[in-house]
Structure 1
Amino acid sequence: MRTSLRKMGNSTGMIVPRSILGAIGATTGAAMDLRVEDGKLIVTPAERVARDGWAEAAAGLAATGEELEWLGLGVADDAKLTW
């Protein structure tokens, strides 16, 4: 299969057919790792890191106000603590 490089703003991009994305298990918007080996561009789906999605989850939680519920909870033996 052949595709062309295209100007995209100040960068250059490439349209990747859906069948190729499916073959490597990627979807539109997926993070990809790029490297060059022997003059060839190698593109692979990026591995997830431990904190992927945390920022979005925290923003969603903040929007609901649920993160404040813990403030009313006490800790066992609070009275014995010195600050």
Structure 2
Amino acid sequence: MTLRLHPDVSTVDTEYGTVLLNGRDGRYWQLNASATLTFHALVGGSTVQEAAERLMATYDVDEPHARADVEQLLAGLQQAKVVEQA
């Protein structure tokens, strides 16, 4: 599945992670460093498994937890309509 950022959503990277702003309704989300890594991997074309592998390579987390974290973030981003399938 290829994802892209919804056209109404803008992002800014900060020293603490990434902030996403939905221009349609003014809602925003702040992603911490691990969520930022996952977010950029997913919108950059990585699969869930590839994003989980990046988490495991960067943080001390095992495969089941990394995959669950990626899936949970992905579900939240889709539910909030921050990302869409390309």
Q: If the TM-score is normalised by the length of the shorter chain, which range does it land in?
A: under 0.3
Report the TM-score, using the length of structure 2 for normalisation. Answer: 0.22
Report the TM-score, using the length of structure 1 for normalisation. Answer: 0.22
Larger Rg: 1
